[in-house]
């Protein structure tokens, strides 16, 4: 069982729960079919609002802790962005009644630290493109010590606790702590309900039965190599395209066997951001799966804001990890 009363675990569950529920409301209220293709304002508001909420709870509960968040408030402070700041403040008020625009900026900037020996890392909205398309996205918070992740929480507003896509539904929350397993509950349930169920990775050992996942956005991966990989492995199913770390949630729950982040041919120098991988990684590992880079090396979270020493990601149910790495090698991925 996971001890949800451990102070760090309790803080992370509560902060992500509140931030994600707010992001869910913002998606429902601000994203509409009338949105023009280039209008990113709903996700901008949600990104800032969610980081402010997590920054607020961290400041209250662990004032000295390091938080490496994806966002910073300087743009919001410029006079031309006053309208955006007012919108963000109005939403954050639902969680922190009476909060002022200046305080909102301070809570966002609670996350401008650089990584240290021990740090929290936050992606307030992972999968911004999914958010705008009305698809999957997640709020991801993790705690790192040294080079490895100790605790991770994922809030998934559009995924049901039974792992079904449920756009505009009540959402789910996943938590994993080193040595304590991976667990899921409803996003909006109260902490006292203790309604967490244990996640278990798929036991599939036949490569032909592997269900493969990749980014929805073709520019975030190498689509033709993903197809080549599937051929080499002998997998029969078409790769599932999905935004954000929700893919890690599905893998942890046994709803898929392999998740690849290959390097886009346009961005061979791309290195993953710590907040894009940390929470998802521990949720998969604690459910019994394995996560490495494309060369089979562990992801090293002690290298700053990016995983400088790692190329891409290969995540699996464990049993299929060696066959997956072999297939990657044979296609020179």
List the catalytic residues.
47, 128
276 binds Mg ion (CB under 5 A): yes
Beta strands 212-215 and 240-242, pairing class: parallel
**Interatomic CA distance for residues 117 and 147, integer angstroms:** 8
* Angle subtended at Cα 9 by Cα 5 and Cα 15, rounded to the nearest 5 degrees: 110
Nearest to 235 by CA among 211, 200, 260, 203: 211
| Helix or strand (DSSP H, E) at 126 | strand 118-126
Contact 326, 294 (CB under 8 A): no
220 binds ligand AMP (CB under 6 A): yes
Q: 63 burial class (0-12, 13-18, 19+ CB within 10 angstroms)?
A: exposed
**Interatomic CA distance for residues 146 and 166, integer angstroms:** 36
DSSP label of 306: B
Q: Which is nearer to Mg ion, 276 or 293 (CB)?
A: 276
Q: Which is nearer to Mg ion, 121 or 230 (CB)?
A: 121
**Interatomic CA distance for residues 151 and 223, integer angstroms:** 31
293 binds ligand AMP (CB under 6 A): no
217 binds ligand AMP (CB under 6 A): yes
- CA dihedral of residues 214, 215, 216, 221 (deg, nearest 10): -100
123 binds Mg ion (CB under 5 A): yes
Least distance to ligand AMP from the beta carbon of 3, Å? 30
In this chain, which stretch among 12-20, 80-88, 143-151, 267-275 interacts with ligand AMP, using CB under 6 A?
A: 267-275
Place of tokens 């290298």: 303
- Find the residue with minimal CB distance to ligand AMP: 215
Least distance to Mg ion from the beta carbon of 248, Å? 12
In this chain, which stretch among 4-12, 126-134, 150-158, 194-202 interacts with Mg ion, using CB under 5 A?
A: 126-134
Least distance to ligand AMP from the beta carbon of 243, Å? 4
Least distance to Mg ion from the beta carbon of 133, Å? 15
Least distance to ligand AMP from the beta carbon of 270, Å? 4
133 binds ligand AMP (CB under 6 A): no
The sheet with strand 138-145 has its strands ordered as 67-69, 118-126, 138-145, 148-156, 172-177, 181-186, 197-198
Nearest to 138 by CA among 271, 329, 279, 295: 279
Residue 264 binds which of Mg ion, ligand AMP, none (CB < 5-8 A, kind-dependent): ligand AMP
In this chain, which stretch among 87-95, 147-155, 178-186, 263-271 interacts with ligand AMP, using CB under 6 A?
A: 263-271
In this chain, which stretch among 117-125, 210-218, 222-230, 296-304 interacts with Mg ion, using CB under 5 A?
A: 117-125
Residues contributing to the site for ligand AMP (CB under 6 A) = 126-127, 215-217, 219-220, 243-244, 264, 267, 270, 273, 276
Residues contributing to the site for Mg ion (CB under 5 A) = 123, 126, 276
């Amino acid at each position: 069982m996971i001890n949800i009363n451990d102070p760090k675990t309790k803080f992370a569950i509560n902060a992500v729960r509140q931030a994600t529920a707010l992001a869910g409301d913002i998606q429902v209220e601000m994203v509409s079919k009338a949105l023009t293709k280039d209008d990113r304002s709903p996700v901008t508001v949600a990104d800032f609002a969610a980081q402010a909420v997590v920054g607020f709870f961290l400041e209250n509960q662990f004032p000295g802790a390091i938080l490496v968040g994806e966002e910073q408030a300087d743009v919001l402070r410029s006079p031309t962005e006053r309208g955006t700041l007012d919108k963000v403040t109005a939403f954050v008020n639902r969680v922190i009644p009476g909060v002022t625009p200046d305080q909102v900026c301070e809570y966002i900037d609670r996350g401008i630290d650089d990584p240290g020996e021990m740090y929290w890392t936050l992606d307030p909205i992972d999968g911004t493109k999914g958010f705008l398309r009305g698809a999957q996205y997640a709020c991801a918070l993790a705690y790192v010590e040294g080079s490895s992740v100790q605790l991770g929480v994922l809030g998934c507003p559009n995924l049901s606790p039974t792992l079904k896509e449920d756009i505009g539904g009540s959402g789910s929350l996943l938590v994993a702590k080193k040595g304590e397993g991976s667990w899921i509950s409803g996003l909006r349930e109260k902490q006292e309900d203790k309604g967490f169920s244990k996640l278990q990775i798929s036991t599939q050992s036949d490569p032909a039965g592997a269900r493969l996942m990749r980014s929805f956005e073709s520019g975030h991966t190498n689509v033709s190599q993903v197809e080549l990989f599937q051929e080499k492995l002998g997998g029969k199913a078409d790769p599932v395209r999905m935004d954000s770390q929700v893919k890690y949630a599905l893998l942890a729950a046994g709803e898929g066997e392999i998740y690849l982040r290959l390097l886009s041919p346009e961005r061979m120098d791309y290195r993953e951001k710590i907040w894009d991988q940390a929470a998802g990684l521990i949720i998969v590992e604690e459910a019994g799966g394995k996560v490495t880079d494309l060369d089979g090396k562990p992801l090293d979270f002690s290298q700053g804001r990016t995983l400088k020493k790692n190329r891409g990601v290969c995540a699996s149910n464990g049993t299929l990890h060696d066959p997956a790495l072999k297939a990657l090698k044979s296609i020179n991925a």
